[in-house]
Amino acid sequence: MKVWEIWFASVGLSLDIYAAAICKGAVVGRVERRKLAQMCLIFGLWQTEALRNL
Protein backbone atom coordinates (compact mmCIF):
# COMPACT_ATOMS: atom_id res chain seq x y z
CA MET A 1 0.00 0.00 0.00
CA LYS A 2 1.09 3.51 -0.68
CA VAL A 3 1.42 6.08 2.09
CA TRP A 4 -1.58 8.11 0.98
CA GLU A 5 -3.78 4.98 0.98
CA ILE A 6 -2.75 4.17 4.54
CA TRP A 7 -3.35 7.78 5.55
CA PHE A 8 -6.88 7.82 4.07
CA ALA A 9 -7.70 4.47 5.67
CA SER A 10 -6.52 5.69 9.07
CA VAL A 11 -8.53 8.91 8.77
CA GLY A 12 -11.63 6.94 7.80
CA LEU A 13 -11.21 4.58 10.73
CA SER A 14 -10.65 7.51 13.08
CA LEU A 15 -13.87 9.17 11.94
CA ASP A 16 -15.69 5.87 12.37
CA ILE A 17 -14.53 5.49 15.95
CA TYR A 18 -15.27 9.16 16.68
CA ALA A 19 -18.88 8.75 15.52
CA ALA A 20 -19.31 5.59 17.59
CA ALA A 21 -17.88 7.31 20.68
CA ILE A 22 -20.18 10.33 20.23
CA CYS A 23 -23.24 8.08 19.91
CA LYS A 24 -22.24 6.01 22.95
CA GLY A 25 -21.48 9.13 24.99
CA ALA A 26 -24.81 10.72 24.11
CA VAL A 27 -26.78 7.98 25.85
CA VAL A 28 -24.56 7.46 28.91
CA GLY A 29 -25.40 9.50 31.98
CA ARG A 30 -22.28 8.72 33.97
CA VAL A 31 -18.99 7.36 32.64
CA GLU A 32 -17.31 4.60 34.63
CA ARG A 33 -13.56 4.21 34.20
CA ARG A 34 -13.74 0.45 33.81
CA LYS A 35 -16.39 0.65 31.09
CA LEU A 36 -14.42 3.39 29.34
CA ALA A 37 -11.25 1.27 29.39
CA GLN A 38 -13.15 -1.74 28.03
CA MET A 39 -14.67 0.31 25.24
CA CYS A 40 -11.28 1.79 24.29
CA LEU A 41 -9.71 -1.66 24.24
CA ILE A 42 -12.46 -3.13 22.08
CA PHE A 43 -12.41 -0.23 19.61
CA GLY A 44 -8.61 -0.25 19.49
CA LEU A 45 -8.47 -3.96 18.74
CA TRP A 46 -11.27 -3.64 16.19
CA GLN A 47 -9.50 -0.83 14.31
CA THR A 48 -6.13 -2.60 14.50
CA GLU A 49 -7.64 -5.68 12.95
CA ALA A 50 -9.36 -3.58 10.27
CA LEU A 51 -6.07 -1.93 9.29
CA ARG A 52 -4.31 -5.26 9.34
CA ASN A 53 -6.71 -6.68 6.77
CA LEU A 54 -6.24 -3.87 4.25
* Mean per-residue pLDDT, 30-51: 84
Quick one: pLDDT at residue 43?
A: 82
* E strand intervals along the chain: none
CA–CA separation, 21 and 2 (whole Å)? 29
Which CA distances in Å does 13 have to 10, 23, 40, 48? 5, 16, 14, 10
Q: Are 10 and 54 within 8 A, CB to CB? A: no
pTM, two decimal places: 0.51
Q: Are 37 and 22 within 8 A, CB to CB? A: no
Quick one: pLDDT at residue 34?
A: 93
3-40 pLDDT tens trace:
888 888 888 888 887 888 888 778 877 878 898 899 88
